[in-house]
């Protein structure tokens, strides 16, 4: 390794592997085993490393000239031992700081860093890594999960990464998910932040075990053909004294002024105009992909990076834009098949365009507009929905501007917003009927899919990070039927190419004309020719004895899924035999009965007898 080149790239913000240099690295010098410590603190007066290996008394680190890099080899220090840096700051304070590049941390409320030998674990997922790709032409059904509250032990304790592996893999496979997305696994002090206010950007949280145990979990997921997406937070960090805040007595990682230095969440905003900060963040992103084999990174709160304080009225933050472009382009150069996802609620252009074409370089963008419009529609009384008819069609007006992913995420089931099922207007039974229709709409709408854990159970209690999901809901028939229904919908999504191939091509989606638009009936076709899918949604209270749907070709329609089937706690109005179209002067027409608050999916096929 050319350390001089690495350090030069670090200063100018072009380094993607700073963690190889900084941090605590077990090694040997002159045949003596120990640990080499390096930390960057250009405005510190002096730094000591204190830890279990020196009884917390302190060994002075030596600065390399005027580089701002302090280092020392400690003989006989070893993996598993705790340490901190005692930083004598230029502002007169002396603070004990966690290592910004530590690979392990103590469990909160303690805050020491831990020496970790990441080479202790060897992955066995080479076959997966060689064939993974960005899923553009494949189905992607993501299960968003918080490790500490999916399941808990009877005594309320967390399961470890390794203990979760077997039940999680079995559940993901049974429910036809293709990927799992973990809420941030990086170390954080406050459980209630869900990991979004990070203190250890290179440390797998100690809540659920060791970094090697997390590697093992990811390795096992890959061996069962399940992808792993990690939430990554490159926008802000905690204020805690032991972490990055005023690390050397100056605003080293944060903006120096209070107007931009603090975020809306009471944390510090990263200063993207410092090369060392850009190198720190993009190296952290690369670290989770390189060392933990993450298949994707979902970047949180991108809007708050693109605009000063997340407010378009304050203008674009050019330094943040250039940072995101540089990080995304660099990560794609380094890793084939890596997916980068933006949680971005803004109208910033070309988020998912390649950097070389003037874009930000993300692979997917969360469609927050689709999510807000859809949930708002389903919350409204039936009597007012006709006036909101195009609230559901609007998403296709802009869909081809970006590569979108449809999220029903954790943010939609907390803080008084109600859960997905509970958001539905109407009686208890009507809520479930509409939820079933909503999910057909979601899974047949172009775009990849993401659901937060508990959505599939018909959860009525808002998510609480301190409690496991209410698994006993499956003892109730209407909840169990929703759970089974979503399994079947997931299976259908994965096995019908019309629902995922060419989904970002405008020629493979079309709205169809019906005779019941005033009753909130929607009809659309996915795909082209035989094998394409016809989707019908009746989101009003009126039943239809002869709903008329116009199609352009003489295909018969075979029903694949009906949300009103008895199996799913519906009334049983289904279409057991294929429907034959009637020829019109121009085109063809299907006629069929349809239950209120229902949805159905048909496959269009060549008729057995020519019309």
Instruction: Give the pLDDT confidence score for residue 516 in this predicted structure.
Output: 85
Residue 602's nearest CA partner among 446, 492, 437 is 492
Superfamily of 126-499 according to CATH: Glycosidases (3.20.20.80)
Instruction: Give the pLDDT confidence score for residue 610 in this predicted structure.
Output: 52
User: Helix, strand, coil shares of the chain as percentages rounded to 5?
Assistant: 35, 25, 45
**What residue spans of 229-311 are helical by DSSP H?**
258-261, 275-290, 303-306
Q: pTM for this structure?
A: 0.96
Q: Kindly report the CA angle at 271 between 270 and 276, in degrees rounded to 5?
A: 100
Instruction: Give the pLDDT confidence score for residue 518 in this predicted structure.
Output: 77
Choose which CATH entry (3.90.1570.30, 1.20.1560.10, 2.60.40.1180, 3.40.50.720) describes domain 506-605.
2.60.40.1180
DSSP state of 53: G
**What residue spans of 466-611 are helical by DSSP H?**
477-495
Instruction: Give the pLDDT confidence score for residue 609 in this predicted structure.
Output: 63
On the question of a cis peptide bond just before residue 109, with omega within 30 degrees of 0, the verdict is yes
Within 13 Å, how many C-alpha atoms sit on residue 197's CB side? Answer: 17
Domain 3-120 has CATH 1.10.3720.10: no
Helix (H) or strand (E) holding 525: strand 521-526
Q: Does residue 602 sit in helix, strand or coil? A: strand
Q: Count other Cβ atoms within 10 Å, centred on residue 256.
A: 10
Catalytic site residue 343?
Answer: yes
Alpha carbon 454 to chain centroid distance? 16
Q: Which of 9, 219, 343, 344 is catalytic?
A: 343
Going along 244-345, which residue ranges are E strands?
268-269, 296-299, 339-342
Domain positions in the chain are: 3-120, 126-499, 506-605
* Helix-helix angle 3-12:275-290, to 10 degrees: 120
Q: Pick out the chain residues at pLDDT < 50.
A: none
Instruction: Give the pLDDT confidence score for residue 244 in this predicted structure.
Output: 97
Distance CA 51, CA 24 (A): 12
pLDDT tens by residue, 207-266? 999 999 999 999 999 999 999 999 999 999 999 999 999 999 999 999 999 899 999 999
Catalytic site residue 379?
Answer: no
Give yes or no on whether 3-120 and 506-605 have one common fold: yes
C-alpha to C-alpha distances, 390 to 419, 424, 517, 525, nearest whole angstrom: 24, 18, 10, 17
Q: Which of 219, 276, 300, 344 is catalytic?
A: 300
Q: How many Å is the Cα radius of gyration of the chain?
A: 27
Distance CA 462, CA 411 (A): 10
């Amino acid at each position: 390794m050319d350390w001089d080149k690495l350090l030069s790239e670090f200063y100018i913000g072009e380094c993607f592997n700073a963690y190889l240099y900084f941090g605590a690295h077990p090694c040997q010098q002159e045949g003596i085993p120990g640990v080499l410590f390096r930390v960057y603190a250009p405005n510190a007066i002096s730094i000591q490393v204190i830890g279990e290996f020196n009884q917390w008394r302190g060994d002075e680190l030596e600065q390399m000239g005027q580089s701002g890099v302090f280092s020392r080899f400690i003989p006989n220090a070893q993996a598993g031992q705790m340490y901190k840096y005692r930083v004598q700051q230029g502002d007169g304070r002396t603070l004990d700081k966690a290592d910004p590049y530590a690979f392990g941390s103590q469990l909160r409320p303690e805050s020491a860093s831990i020496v970790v030998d990441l080479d202790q674990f060897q992955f066995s997922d080479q076959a997966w890594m060689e064939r993974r790709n960005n899923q553009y032409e494949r189905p992607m059904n993501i299960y968003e999960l918080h490790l500490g509250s999916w399941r808990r032990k009877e005594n309320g304790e967390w399961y470890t990464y390794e203990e979760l592996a077997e039940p999680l893999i079995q559940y993901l496979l049974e429910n036809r998910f293709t990927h799992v997305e973990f809420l941030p696994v990086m170390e954080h002090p406050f459980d209630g932040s869900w990991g979004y206010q990070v203190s250890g950007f290179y440390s797998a949280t100690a809540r659920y075990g060791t970094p090697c145990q997390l590697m093992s979990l990811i390795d096992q997921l890959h061996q069962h053909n399940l992808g792993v997406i990690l939430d990554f937070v490159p926008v802000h960090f905690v204020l805690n004294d032991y972490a990055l805040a005023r690390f050397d007595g100056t605003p080293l990682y944060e903006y120096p002024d209070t107007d931009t230095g603090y975020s809306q969440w009471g944390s510090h905003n990263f200063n993207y105009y410092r090369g060392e900060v850009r190198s720190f963040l993009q190296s952290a992103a690369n670290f989770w992909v390189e060392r933990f084999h993450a298949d994707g990174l979902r970047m949180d709160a991108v809007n708050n990076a693109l605009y000063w304080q997340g407010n378009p009225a304050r203008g674009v933050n050019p330094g943040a834009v250039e940072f995101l472009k540089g990080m995304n382009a660099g990560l794609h150069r380094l890793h084939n098949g890596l997916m980068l996802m933006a949680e971005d609620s803004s109208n910033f252009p070309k988020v998912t365009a390649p950097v070389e074409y003037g874009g930000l370089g993300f692979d997917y963008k969360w469609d927050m507009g689709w999510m807000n419009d859809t949930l708002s529609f389903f919350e409204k009384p039936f009597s007012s929905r006709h006036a909101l008819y195009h609230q559901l069609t609007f998403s296709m007006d802009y869909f081809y501007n970006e590569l979108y992913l449809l999220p029903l995420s954790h943010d939609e089931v907390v803080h008084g917003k109600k859960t997905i099922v509970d958001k539905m207007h109407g009686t208890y039974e009507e809520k479930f009927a509409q939820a079933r229709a909503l999910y057909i709409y979601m899974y047949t709408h172009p775009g990849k899919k993401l659901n937060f854990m508990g959505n599939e159970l018909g959860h009525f209690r808002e998510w609480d990070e301190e409690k496991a999901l209410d698994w006993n809901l499956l003892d109730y028939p209407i909840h169990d039927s929703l759970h089974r229904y979503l399994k079947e919908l997931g299976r259908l999504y994965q096995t019908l190419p019309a629902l995922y191939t060419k989904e970002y091509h405008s020629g493979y989606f079309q709205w169809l004309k019906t005779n019941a638009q005033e009753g909130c009936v929607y009809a659309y076709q996915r795909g082209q020719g035989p094998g394409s899918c016809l989707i019908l949604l009746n989101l009003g209270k009126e039943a239809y004895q002869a709903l008329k749907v116009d199609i352009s070709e003489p295909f018969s329609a075979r029903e694949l899924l009906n949300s009103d089937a008895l199996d799913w706690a519906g009334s049983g109005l289904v279409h057991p035999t294929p429907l034959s179209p009637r020829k019109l002067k121009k085109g063809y027409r299907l006629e069929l009965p349809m239950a209120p608050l229902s949805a159905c999916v048909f496959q269009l096929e060549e008729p057995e007898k020519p019309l």
